[in-house]
């Protein structure tokens, strides 16, 4: 076991901290107490961490005092550490301790594998899942990713742009904000200030990797493969444009639908639910958009009354060569090698004769011994008319049964006719349940049939089962698609399969849900326009970094150093946005490398300039306040020119404990404030606002709208709200248009989206100055805020009565 621990190295590192406490920050950025092998060493390191948190000296006396209080002090272990020579440099030794700690965890994992695989006798699929989960936890917990430096990020970003091109073508006292009106109100960001920048959530939706989303063209796409500018299918069958992407690590939850697919989302994901009953002012069918985090806090009654829901999709009509009903018949009961269809139903035979007449063709019948008669639409007069079998071959259907995309993505009527053909040939009507069942041996075709029924708004399910023919001792796997809802709208022709109208009061397109915690994992998401609702693969409906990046860019332009903890967006995406803002090249053009020679010149010069800046990004995606403190202290000591730190965003951070979320946020905001004072730099933390402001006629944010904890308002020296009125105007116009369409009316809007929008930065709190409104312009293509033309006066509302001087005592908030 010697290769799994090294007691001497552990003693040397602990000795180095005791003799030179300044080294603790370097060690703390990479090691935790559990990484030490000996329990006595773990206890001593935990005591060191406690001293650091409480701003006590990290020395023998204070450590001894803390361990004696816990009954854990080992005098022999302490003497051995003190008698060990301290190290001139600890980095290599810290890495060795971390390496052996990981190995010990992996050894423990092998024991766990044996236990769950052999002793617990679990299915192999469960064993693999548990092992993957434990291995992921080990890699996450032992991640010690450092800051990524500007040259690396810049070069990676430029390489990406080139790759895309190949494929397709003085009144300021503190840190200058870069905005004249904000500077006049704030005199810049002061040293030691905690600044909160708050805005309404972009209503982004974040899903687990592999979750399929319906695109506007009817195709399905994994959420991680969606790109900015692409169109998703909205809940009203109109497009939703992807405005930006998100990717990070967060607590993930399973949304279990009683009558729908299960899908996995992050804690911030917005669930779109419908009310299932009338009560007071609340009406059946009212839509509620609520985050997973807030949903989990709701009462059992609320959860019972609010259901997941799905909607039908309206696609544009396309002309097709083969009648959809015939295609459904052939897919269900046709020979895959030719045009013949097996049937004994006179309604289908009558249809085949009528369809043949419309085509100018005839119908042939062949009878085989004791088998169902076969019918074929054929050319009976030897003319050169194109045969129906030739059309099937052109669609790639002969010997390869499937639903071609033009039939799957077509008008509602054509899709209903296609489904009717499938039911009349291969479907069974269950009168007791008033639903249909189609059984297929081909899994791909079964999934296409389910998708077809989903897009029409029916409640569907697909299950695999084992089918047996006892007389032939034959067994095979089949896939059963079940379809319920207003199935009487399906124009079946076979009389015995005609469905009854839906008479149950319960809505078929709503379903109860359960939300279950899964694990911390990576998510992918996006911000979309319109009402922010889009569809999953079974038509289930699901639901402001720019300003802070502009502040960072302005500080870099002044020669200052900037550090960003990006908990949601990868470093390359941050750099893309900053290069877009700096060069005035639209972000979408940068992403695909679609630029002229002049723009390439601007980009090259801007990238060269950015690579020389002191700009650092930690995009690890999962940090707590203790890690932020250790990493930022270390960075500041290595690069004294760091003058600004940004946290994007506060609600994604944790305090490192399992406390109530409001208390966690209090710990985080207090910790950031103390860290800003200690390092003498302003720290900007992005924060979300409560959705309650959406109910007000005036959507401008107020201090009471800050999300999750009043401690944010208490700890902040300055609170800025970003407000763009056009965002709500666009939403109102979309809602009016949708309402008119529902009522069968036309609506012509006189409102047009502008490339530049008026924006307000509302200074809601300013500990050392006035509050008021700064008027800016938001340039959408470059995600950039700029000053309006000079000369517009600043609207000063009031002065804060209480101004705390820098040396004022800071009391912890009451718990």
Q: Catalytic site residues?
A: 568
Decide: 506 and 494 in contact? Cβ < 8 Å.
no
Non-local CB neighbours of 110 within 8 Å, separated by 6+ positions: none
Tokens of 385: 């008319």
Beta strand 756-766 with 212-214: parallel, antiparallel or unpaired? unpaired
Give the distance from CA 523 to its chain's centroid.
Answer: 5
Residues in CB range of 72: below 8 A, 6 or more apart: 40, 43
Phi first, then psi: what are they for 16, rounded to 5°? Answer: -60, -40
3-state secondary structure of 665: helix
Query: Which value, in Å, is the radius of gyration of the alpha carbons in the chain?
Result: 32
Please give the C-alpha separations between residue 524 and each of 331, 380, 535, 620, 777, in angstroms, as whole numbers.
Answer: 37, 58, 15, 14, 30
How far apart CA 554 and CA 560 sit, in angstroms, is: 9
Give 3-state DSSP helix, strand, coil % of the chain, rounded to 5.
40, 25, 35
317: which 2 tokens? 């009509």
Residue 283 and residue 788: Cα distance in Å, rounded? 45
Nearest to 509 by CA among 478, 532, 540: 540
Residue that has been written with the tokens 């301790």 in this structure: 97
Query: Can you tell me the distance from the alpha carbon of 29 to that of 617, in angstroms, rounded to the nearest whole number?
Result: 15
- Distance between CA 316 and CA 308 in Å, rounded? 26
Chain centroid to CA 697: 29
Question: φ, ψ for residue 356 (rounded to 5)?
Answer: -60, -40
CA dihedral over 523, 524, 527, 532, signed as positive or negative: negative
- Between helix 150-168 and helix 571-583 the angle, nearest 10°, is 80
Exposure string for 389-416, b = 16+ CB within 10 A, e = fewer: bebbeebebbeebebbeebbbbebebbb
Angle subtended at Cα 756 by Cα 246 and Cα 727, rounded to the nearest 5 degrees: 55
Give the span between the Cα atoms of 280 and 259, in whole angstroms: 28
The DSSP secondary-structure symbol of 706 reads B
Residue the block writes with tokens 């409640």: 459
DSSP line for 233-277: EBTTSSEEEEEEEEEEEEEEEEEEETTS--EEEETT-EEEEEE-S
Selection from 735, 252, 126, 175 nearest residue 523 by Cα: 252
Report how far residue 562's alpha carbon sits from residue 454's, in angstroms, rounded to the nearest whole number.
49
């Amino acid at each position: 076991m010697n290769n799994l621990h090294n007691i001497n190295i552990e003693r040397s590192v602990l000795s180095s901290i005791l003799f030179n406490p300044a080294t603790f920050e370097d060690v703390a950025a990479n090691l935790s107490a559990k990484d030490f092998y000996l329990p006595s060493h773990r206890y001593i390191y935990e005591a060191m961490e406690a001293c650091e948190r409480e701003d006590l000296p990290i020395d023998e006396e204070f450590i001894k005092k803390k361990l004696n209080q816990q009954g854990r002090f080992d005098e022999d272990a302490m003497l051995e550490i003190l008698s060990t020579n301290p190290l001139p440099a600890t980095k290599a030794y810290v890495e060795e301790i971390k390496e052996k700690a990981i190995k010990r965890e992996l050894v423990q994992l092998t024991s766990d594998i044996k236990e769950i695989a052999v002793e617990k006798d679990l299915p192999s699929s469960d064993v693999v899942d548990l092992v993957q989960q434990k291995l992921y936890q080990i890699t996450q917990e032992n991640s010690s990713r450092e800051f990524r430096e500007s040259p690396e990020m810049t070069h990676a970003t430029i390489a990406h742009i080139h790759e895309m091109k190949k494929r397709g073508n003085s009144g300021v006292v503190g840190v200058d904000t870069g905005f004249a009106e904000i500077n006049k109100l704030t005199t810049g960001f002061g040293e030691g200030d905690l600044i909160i920048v708050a805005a309404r959530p972009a209503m982004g939706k974040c899903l687990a990797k592999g979750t399929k989303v319906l695109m506007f063209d009817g195709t399905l796409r994994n959420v991680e493969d969606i790109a900015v500018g692409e169109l998703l299918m909205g809940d009203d069958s109109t497009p939703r444009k992807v405005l930006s992407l998100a990717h990070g690590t967060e607590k993930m939850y399973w949304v279990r639908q009683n009558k729908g697919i299960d899908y996995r989302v992050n804690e911030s994901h917005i669930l779109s639910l419908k009310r299932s009953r009338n009560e007071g002012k609340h009406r059946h069918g009212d839509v509620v958009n609520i985050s997973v985090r807030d949903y989990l806090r709701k009462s059992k009654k609320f959860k019972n009354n609010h259901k997941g829901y799905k909607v039908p999709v309206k696609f544009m009509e396309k002309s097709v060569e083969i009648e959809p009903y015939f295609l459904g018949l052939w897919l269900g009961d046709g020979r895959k090698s030719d045009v013949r269809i097996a049937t004994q139903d006179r309604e289908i035979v009558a249809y085949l004769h009528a369809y043949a007449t419309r085509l100018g063709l005839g119908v042939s019948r062949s009878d085989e011994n004791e088998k169902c008669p076969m019918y074929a639409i054929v050319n009976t007069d030897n003319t050169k008319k194109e045969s129906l079998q030739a059309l099937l071959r052109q669609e790639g259907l002969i010997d390869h049964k499937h639903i071609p995309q033009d039939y799957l993505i077509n008008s509602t009527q054509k899709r209903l006719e296609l489904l009717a053909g499938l039911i009349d040939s291969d479907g069974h009507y269950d009168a007791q349940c008033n639903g249909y069942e189609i059984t297929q041996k081909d899994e791909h075709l079964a999934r296409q049939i389910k998708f077809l029924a989903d897009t029409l708004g029916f409640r569907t399910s697909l299950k695999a089962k084992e089918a047996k023919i006892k007389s032939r001792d034959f067994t095979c796997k089949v896939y059963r698609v079940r379809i319920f809802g207003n199935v009487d709208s399906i124009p079946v022709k076979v009389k015995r399969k005609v469905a009854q109208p839906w008479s149950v009061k319960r809505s078929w397109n709503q379903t109860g849900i359960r939300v279950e915690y899964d694990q911390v994992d990576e998510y992918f998401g996006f911000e979309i326009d319109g009402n922010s609702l889009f569809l999953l693969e079974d038509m289930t409906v699901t639901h402001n970094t720019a300003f802070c990046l502009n502040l960072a860019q302005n500080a870099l332009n002044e020669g200052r150093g900037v550090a960003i903890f990006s908990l949601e967006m990868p470093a390359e995406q941050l750099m893309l946005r900053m290069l877009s803002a700096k060069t005035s090249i639209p972000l979408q053009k940068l992403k695909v490398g679609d630029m002229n020679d002049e723009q390439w010149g601007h980009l090259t010069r801007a990238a060269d300039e950015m690579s020389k800046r002191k700009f650092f990004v930690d995009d690890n995606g999962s940090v707590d306040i203790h890690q932020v403190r250790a990493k930022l202290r270390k960075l500041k000591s290595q690069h004294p020119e760091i003058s600004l730190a940004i946290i994007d965003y506060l609600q994604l951070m944790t305090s490192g404990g399992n406390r109530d979320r409001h208390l966690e946020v209090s710990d985080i905001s207090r910790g950031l404030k103390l860290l800003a004072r200690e390092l003498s730099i302003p720290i900007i933390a992005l924060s979300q606002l409560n959705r309650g402001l959406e109910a007000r006629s005036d959507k401008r944010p107020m201090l009471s709208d800050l999300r999750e904890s009043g401690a944010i308002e208490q700890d902040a020296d300055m609170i800025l709200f970003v407000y763009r009125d056009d965002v709500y105007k666009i939403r109102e116009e979309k809602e009016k248009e949708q309402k008119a369409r529902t009522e069968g009316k036309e609506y012509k809007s006189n409102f047009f989206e502008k490339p530049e929008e008026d924006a307000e930065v509302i200074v809601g709190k300013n500990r050392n100055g006035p509050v008021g409104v700064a008027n800016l312009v938001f340039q959408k293509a470059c995600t950039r805020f700029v000053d309006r033309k000079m000369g517009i006066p600043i609207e000063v509302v009031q002065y804060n009565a209480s101004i705390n001087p820098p040396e004022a005592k800071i009391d912890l908030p009451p718990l």
